[in-house]
Amino acid sequence: MSIPTAKSDRFDVRAVVAAVQRAVGTPNGTLALHEPVFAGNELAYLDECIKSTFVSSVGKFVDRFEDMLAEYTGAKRAIAVVNGTAALHTCFRLAGVEPGNEVISPALTFIATTNAIAYCGATPHFIDSSLKTLGMDAQALGTRLDAIAQRKPEGTINRETGRRIAAIVPMHTFGHPVDMDEISAIARQWEIPLVEDAAESLGSTYKGRAVGSRAQFAALSFNGNKIVTTGGGGAILTNDEELGRRAKHITTTAKLPHKWAFVHDEIGFNYRLPNLNAALGCAQLEQLDGFLKNKRRLADAYDRAFANIPGVQFAREPEGTSSNYWLNAILLDEAHASLRDEALTELNAAGFGARPAWTLMHRLPMFSESPRGDLSVSESIERRLINLPSSASIQARDD
Ligand SMILES: *Cc1c(COP(=O)(O)O)cnc(C)c1O
């Protein structure tokens, strides 16, 4: 009998490739990181849409899509827009983010979160992520605000920069919900509006309720790589009727309703989702439960396949949540972070469209001067994370 070595001492990149193969089989060609599935009424609704001639910014599919989203999530209102970035931009505007403000955001996110802050003329302020959720760390948020924030009549101010902290934007990374209760409590304590970047997490739940269902502002995305796609698209979720009305107004050029007159009462945006895209979205939403089931089966297969692989962990959904497992992820132990690129190379050579995490936002030239707390956990995640093929069409192999 050999002497057992510490679990992490025996890490081997080939074992990672073999584990993925055990979970999903040997691909015939390349297994993409995430591709859409069109197996429902897509063509029928598109056909109906084209025949109606209402292919553009008004039409019954837009209304139906918004109703379906509100019903599915339990949010009072859903407002369909042209993409997730536009949804975030609108949320920040309505939350009162103004030029010269700061918005607290994770450094580990897709560029859209940070760009939408910049579109408001505001500066992102980066907070660390949690290893448990891969999203904003509630404790790091609390510690950072205690260190730098001050309540003043005009709002909560960053004492170091003198700027108002106008919003906090947690993001549910790869579909895994953040610690919403803790983050909400901190936001309430400091009276800072919360905008949820739920672009990746349609279908995820937190303590039994859909992510975004309790939000004053949440943003969804229906880009081609998301769990449900409209080609390109997004939506704003809100539980505030008045904010919902405002969101619809400013995303539809702020036009006052009238039989023929073109009167606009403020500078609005043309962020309308075309009816064609909404038609696709309706057909996709009808299949969401099936997508979720398949993606959970796939996540379970990865989880089993990596259970006994030394030096690597599969990222499970946080306790008390149900993830949509939009993207599956593994984390190499810190000791093997230097082998991440070799693992990516081997996985791709074997036909698995594996990808690293996003480059952290504070490393990008546009945001390198932005204020930030300690980001050591985000930096560690960035070094070690690998996303694995996660499409709803992938048939997981049962053990
Ligand atoms: C996809 C995504 C968005 C929105 O992206 P769009 O391409 O504009 O729809 C926003 N935030 C995160 C974290 C995302 O992954």
Mind listing the pLDDT tens digit for each residue in 45-83?
999 999 999 999 889 999 999 999 999 999 999 999 999
Report pLDDT for 7.
53
Angle between helices 340-349 and 13-24 (to 10 degrees): 40
Ligand 1 atom, smallest distance to 85 CA: 8
CA 8 / ligand 1 centre spacing (Å): 35
C-alpha–C-alpha distance, residues 352 and 73, integer Å = 32
Which residue, among 315, 346, 363, has the nearest Cα to 131 in the 3D structure? 315
Percentage of the chain surpassing pLDDT 90? 95
What integer best gives the mean pLDDT of the chain? Answer: 96
Domain boundaries, the chain: 13-36+288-388, 42-285
Strand pairing partners for 237? 78, 218
- Sign of the Cα torsion 264, 85, 63, 59 reads positive
| Superfamily of chain region 13-36+288-388 | Aspartate Aminotransferase, domain 1 (3.90.1150.10)
Between the CA of 30 and the centroid of ligand 1 the distance, in Å, is 24
Within its chain, how far is the Cα of 190 from the centroid? 24
Domain 42-285 has CATH 3.40.50.300: no
pTM for this prediction: 0.96
* 140 Cα to the center of ligand 1, angstroms: 24
pLDDT at residue 274 above 70?
Answer: yes
